[in-house]
Amino acid sequence: MICPPLLKGQNPSFSHVTTENGLSSNAILTMSQDAAGFMWMGTANGINRFDGRIVKQYLVHSNNQEARSSNNIFCLHTDQDGVLWAGTYGGLLRYSIEKDAFVKISIPGYKGGEVTYIYSDQKKNLWVGSSRGLYLLSADRDSSKIQSFFHDDASPSITNNYIKCIYEDHTGAIWVGTNGGLTQLQHRGSNWQFQQFKHLPSDPNSLSANYITTIMEDAQQGLWFGTLNNGLNKYNYSTGKFVRLLHSSNDPNSIINNNIRQIALDQNGRLWVGTQEGLSIIQPLNMSVLSFQHNPSNKNGLNQNSIYSIYQDAQKSMWIGTYFGGANISFSSNTLFQIIQNNGSSSNLSNNVVSGMVEDSNSDLWIGTEGGGLNRISKKNWNFNRF
């Protein structure tokens, strides 16, 4: 007998895509899905396109020494018009369908450095974060309309020029995470207003750290921020204060690690938090935490703990990019199965020849066998009863 894995519990099952399947590198740093449904994976050695069966590799720069480092892909992003963008050490790239290649895009006033993050807001503006500042491209991509944002000690500005993440919340405010603090940008008329947030050692309701790695809003409009080594922060819009969620070796229900790489929201409203040491899944309604790590005996589990990217595709499947294990995919549909069979134990199926099944009003599953009688399985606790 085979059953969908999530009937048994909340443990996600994963299939894996690695260099054995054709990836150019097992270090998946970023992911995006295009309008045609292809999954694109940015790695430490170029970009890979996956159609569910075949991987196609794209090395975005030539083979000289400087260019090889430029194949380290920081970010991938598909905008509302279906255009795929990439950020590298070499700058901003756009995928050309006609050329089947990535083309470098010049940004007037660009101060150099790597492109670290790309994001589209609700007005289709394209935000491009770099290691030396922030740039805003208008929806029509008119180069004459580009706006630039840099840190300035003497006037309101972003907290730091090294941009790590960008996010638009439900109010339309743009949040910019850097390696030196957090900034909220709000457009007022023709001007931008800046509000900075930083870690204050004397204030437990401030950010837990200034190095902001990822931002995500949950289904209840709670805004979450990940930090490099100081866990998670949830922002309270009413008070302007932060609540911290940290790993504790004394609390098995805490998040798995404080080095937060990525936060993503799944179709059930749960937050998937990728860390240096595994995955934590948070239910924001009650703040419960489930954590998962690589287990060598579980071939359908995470194949590596160092998570760098998490992405939900159009089919609501969750993709996890690891640094050494390639991509781990938890499908939203029941395409993966767990085998339930007789193993000599009274707490399992009585016979492997299954003749019929039916679900009752209590959601218990009744299984008839040939020669082994009747089995009842409670899907609440996965207990077996034989009759």
Same domain, 249 and 331: yes
228 closest CA partner among 247, 208, 206, 213: 213
Looking at the whole model, is its pTM more than 0.75?
Answer: yes
Whether 205 and 298 map to the same domain: the answer is yes
- 127, exposed or middle or buried, with CB in 10 Å at 0-12, 13-18, 19+? buried
Say if residue 60 is in the same domain as residue 197. Answer: yes
Q: Are residues 241 and 380 in the same domain?
A: no
- 380 and 235 in one domain? no
CATH number (domain holding residue 153): 2.130.10.10
Q: Same structural domain for residues 228 and 349?
A: no
- Residues 381 and 287 grouped into a single domain: no
Let me know whether 272 and 358 are in one domain: no
Beta-strand (E) ranges in 51-201?
55-58, 73-78, 84-88, 91-96, 101-105, 115-120, 126-130, 133-137, 147-149, 163-168, 174-178, 181-188, 191-197
Please give the pLDDT value at position 254.
Answer: 97
115 and 85 within one domain: yes
The string of DSSP codes covering 23-61 is -S-S-EEEEEE-TTS-EEEEETTEEEEE-SS-EEEE--S
The total number of structural domains that make up the chain: 2
Range of the domain at 381: 340-387
Position 69 scores a pLDDT of 52
Bridge partners (DSSP) listed for residue 104: 93
- Are residue 169 and residue 280 in the same domain, yes or no? yes
Give the per-residue pLDDT at 9: 40
Listed residue (223, 198, 237) closest to 284, CA to CA: 223
The list of the chain residues with pLDDT below 70 reads 1-10, 62-69, 333-339
Task: For residue range 156-180, list pLDDT tens digits in order.
Answer: 999 999 999 999 999 999 999 999 9
